[in-house]
Each structure stands twice: as structure tokens, then as C-alpha cells.
């Protein structure tokens, strides 16, 4: 099949074992030819295009149905590559890089002349991260270029955490998928805008505001202003089913009983206080509910501590109901 001028396989031969050197070679070759490759990271699977190719980057927006004004995150192989893509790097940004890279942290800094407008939506800033995943890093090193890699799904939907999730979502619209197993974390990276004073946390993630504040000895503000980074829109990470949020197991069971009286197919998701399991499995559970045509999922909110803050942020955006904090 042809899509936007590039060939796409129509079967699962597009999924390759990312641990094999030959798969990395094929993926790098595809990226050099301006094709799209889905890759595993420690957070979620990303839909990658070569950062030096505006043509390939524009394909991402078409495939995802993503607004061209919504900026992408640039991924680099090692912290030293930051200065190729950023300029006027503030000391707070360098501290974060030294402490948390490679890892699930994205920083927003002033862009260099190497960054094209397609990546930033025409802004003078760019979001950059260095992923902590062997397959992603090996691919970046083989490519000898940066990539942009938003989540490998349709815009606004539940992020993929396995190669099969990507295949289900994007099908023939992705040229190649590198299978690296289930993502270790399961939630998107923390995003910190280092161009503001004090810095602003634009998206919560596994690296918390508390951890950043303790290390950098500086306050981290809540986001303000326009949507200028991935995940800042009010509605995001949404499955097809309705998501209702409950404050306890008892609350969830009461809601479930009422839904079943209305003859709606419903279920409860509750991982208790196991925040690591919650982050790792919540997207998969929402996808499974859609696969079984569940009407309503009642999710018990996790504690507002550690990565639980990020989980609650994602659930609020995914929810079709009003949330009272």
C-alpha cells in the first residue's frame, strides 16, 4: 500500500525484534529515507521521524491527525548532543540534564538553528529529551541524527505501551515497528519549561516536581499560558469508553451497581496504592476495555504522591466526567 508516497507493509512483518542489530539497521535505513518508525522508550512507544527532515516530520502530523501547531519532542542519543539543538541553555536546564538524563525528563529550552519549524510549531523553543532505552539509543547512534517521536497513536487517544498497541492503532500508516517489549514506566515523560523563571512543569511524569525541587533547590511552578508542549490540552489520553473517576473502592462499587442497573457494561480499575503497577498497566487496561466494548470504566484514583500525581493528571484528561479535586 502507498501512503503519502511511501510503502507500508500490510501485515505483521512490519514488527521487528528491536534487540536484533539487523532490525536497528533496517530502522535507521527507513528513517534516512524519510519513513516513519515506531520505537520503544522507557515511557511509551514513539512514532519516530528524522529530526533533520521536515518532509518526514510533516508525515507524523498527518498520520496522527495532530495539529501542526502542537510541538513535538526531539530525542537525542546522549546529553552532549543537547548543544547541537539548543542555545542559551540556562543553568537549571543543565542541572536537570546532568541529574536525570538519560531518563523520562523533557526540558524546554531555546532552539538552535538546527531545529526546523515543523518540530516547534514555529516557536523559538524546543522540547528535548534523552531516552533511557537501549533500543532507542542504539537507533539514534546508528542514525547519527536526532529524531522526533510523539506517542505512536492517533492524536488525543491512549498512548501505546507495546508494539501490538502501535500496530492496532496505526496499522498500515507506520512503515516499521521495533518491538522492545512493554514499556518500563508506561506514562509519558515529565516536561519542564526551563525558559521561564521559575521553571514550569508543563506535564507531570515519573520524575516529580518534588524530586526536581529537592535537587535543584528551586521552586517549580504549575503551567500557565498557551498550550506549548505535548499533553497540555484539556482532553487527551482518552479511550473510546467513558472514564469515570472514583475516590475509593466503595465509591467505585456504588457507581458500578448503578451502571449495571442501567444495563451498561462497566468495570472497575483499581490498583490500590501500587503506583508503579498503576502507571505500567493503566493504558493497557483502558485499551482492553475498548477491545471488549465496555461502555464505562470506573477508575479508583491513586494516591496523590510520587508518580500518582502524573497518573491522576492523565486520568483527569481521559475522563469524560467532571472531576472534583
> Is pLDDT at 282 greater than 50 in this prediction?
yes
- Distance, in Å, from the CA atom of 185 to the CA atom of 192, rounded to the nearest integer, reads 18
What is residue 320's predicted lDDT score, i.e. its pLDDT?
Answer: 54
* Predicted confidence (pLDDT) per residue in 241-275, tens digit: 999 999 999 999 999 999 988 888 999 999 999 99
What is residue 8's predicted lDDT score, i.e. its pLDDT?
Answer: 37
The domain ranges of the chain are: 2-190, 242-318
> Is pLDDT at 279 greater than 70 in this prediction?
yes
Q: Report which of residues 238 and 32 the model is more confident about.
A: 32
277-293 average pLDDT score: 96
2-190 matches 242-318 in fold:
no
What is residue 63's predicted lDDT score, i.e. its pLDDT?
Answer: 96
- Using pLDDT thresholds of 50, 70 and 90, give the confidence band for residue 2: very low
Mean pLDDT taken over the chain = 91
- Distance, in Å, from the CA atom of 36 to the CA atom of 92, rounded to the nearest integer, reads 33
DSSP 43: S
- Distance, in Å, from the CA atom of 114 to the CA atom of 51, rounded to the nearest integer, reads 9
- Distance, in Å, from the CA atom of 275 to the CA atom of 297, rounded to the nearest integer, reads 19
Residues 6 or more apart in contact with residue 96 via CB below 8 angstroms: 105, 107, 192, 194, 212, 216
- Using pLDDT thresholds of 50, 70 and 90, give the confidence band for residue 44: very high
* Predicted confidence (pLDDT) per residue in 315-324, tens digit: 999 995 443 3
209-229 average pLDDT score: 79
Calculate the dihedral angle through the C-alpha atoms of 259, 260, 264, 267, rounding to the nearest 10 degrees.
80
Q: Report which of residues 73 and 231 the model is more confident about.
A: 73
Per DSSP, the residues of 225-291 read SS--STT-SSS-SB-SSEEEEESSHHHHHHHHHHHHHTT--EEEE--TT-HHHHHHHHHHHHHHHHH
Q: Are the beta carbons of 105 and 43 closer than 8 angstroms? A: no
What is residue 229's predicted lDDT score, i.e. its pLDDT?
Answer: 66
> Is pLDDT at 218 greater than 90 in this prediction?
no
71-97 average pLDDT score: 97
List the CATH code of the domain at 2-190.
Answer: 3.90.870.10
172-190 average pLDDT score: 97
- Using pLDDT thresholds of 50, 70 and 90, give the confidence band for residue 222: confident
What is residue 325's predicted lDDT score, i.e. its pLDDT?
Answer: 35
110-120 average pLDDT score: 97
Q: Report which of residues 7 and 119 the model is more confident about.
A: 119
SS3 116: coil
Q: Does a cis peptide bond (omega within 30 degrees of 0) precede residue 102?
A: yes
> Is pLDDT at 109 greater than 90 in this prediction?
yes
Q: Are the beta carbons of 175 and 82 closer than 8 angstroms? A: no
> Is pLDDT at 276 greater than 70 in this prediction?
yes
- Distance, in Å, from the CA atom of 15 to the CA atom of 212, rounded to the nearest integer, reads 37
- Using pLDDT thresholds of 50, 70 and 90, give the confidence band for residue 200: very high
* CATH topology (fold) of 242-318: Rossmann fold (3.40.50)
DSSP 34: T
What is residue 42's predicted lDDT score, i.e. its pLDDT?
Answer: 98
What is residue 233's predicted lDDT score, i.e. its pLDDT?
Answer: 60
Ordered alpha helix ranges (H), the chain? 21-32, 54-64, 82-85, 91-100, 117-120, 134-143, 163-170, 209-216, 249-261, 275-291, 308-318
DSSP 157: B
What is residue 6's predicted lDDT score, i.e. its pLDDT?
Answer: 34
Q: Report which of residues 165 and 228 the model is more confident about.
A: 165
Amino acid at each position: 500500500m502507498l501512503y503519502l508516497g511511501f510503502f507500508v507493509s500490510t501485515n505483521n512483518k512490519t514488527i521487528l525484534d528491536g534487540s536484533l542489530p539487523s532490525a536497528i539497521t533496517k530502522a535507521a535505513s527507513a528513517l534516512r529515507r524519510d519513513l516513519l518508525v515506531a520505537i520503544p522508550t522507557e515511557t511509551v512507544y514513539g512514532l519516530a521521524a528524522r529530526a533533520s527532515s521536515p518532509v518526514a516530520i510533516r508525515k507524523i502530523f498527518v498520520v496522527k491527525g495532530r495539529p501542526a501547531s502542537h510541538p513535538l519532542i526531539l530525542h537525542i542519543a546522549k546529553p552532549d548532543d543537547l548543544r547541537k539543538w539548543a542555545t542559551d541553555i540556562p543553568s537549571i536546564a543543565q542541572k536537570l540534564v546532568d541529574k536525570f538524563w538519560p531518563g523520562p525528563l523533557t526540558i524546554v529550552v531555546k532552539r538552535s538553528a538546527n531545529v526546523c519549524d515543523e518540530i516547534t510549531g514555529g516557536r523559538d523553543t524546543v522540547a528535548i529529551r534523552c531516552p533511557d532505552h537501549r533500543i532507542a539509543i542504539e537507533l539514534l547512534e546508528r542514525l547519527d541524527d536526532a529524531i522526533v517521536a510523539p506517542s505512536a497513536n492517533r492524536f488525543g487517544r491512549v498512548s501505546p505501551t507495546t508494539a501490538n498497541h502501535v500496530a492496532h492503532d496505526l496499522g498500515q500508516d507506520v512503515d516499521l515497528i521495533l518491538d522492545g517489549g512493554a514499556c518500563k514506566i508506561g506514562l509519558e515523560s515529565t516536561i519542564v519549561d526551563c525558559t521561564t523563571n521559575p521553571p514550569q512543569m508543563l506535564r507531570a511524569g515519573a520524575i516529580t516536581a518534588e524530586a526536581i525541587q529537592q535537587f535543584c533547590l528551586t521552586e517549580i511552578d504549575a503551567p500557565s499560558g498557551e498550550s506549548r508542549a505535548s499533553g497540555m490540552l484539556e482532553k487527551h489520553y482518552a479511550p473510546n469508553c467513558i472514564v469515570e473517576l472514583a475516590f475509593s473502592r466503595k465509591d467505585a462499587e456504588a457507581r458500578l451497581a448503578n451502571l449495571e442497573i442501567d444495563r451498561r457494561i462497566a468495570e472497575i480499575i483499581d490498583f490500590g496504592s501500587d503506583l508503579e503497577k498503576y502507571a505500567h498497566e493503566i493504558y493497557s487496561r483502558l485499551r482492553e476495555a475498548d477491545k471488549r466494548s465496555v461502555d464505562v470504566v470506573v477508575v479508583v484514583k491513586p494516591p496523590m504522591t510520587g508518580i500518582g500525581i502524573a497518573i491522576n493528571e492523565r486520568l483527569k484528561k481521559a475522563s469524560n466526567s467532571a472531576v472534583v479535586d
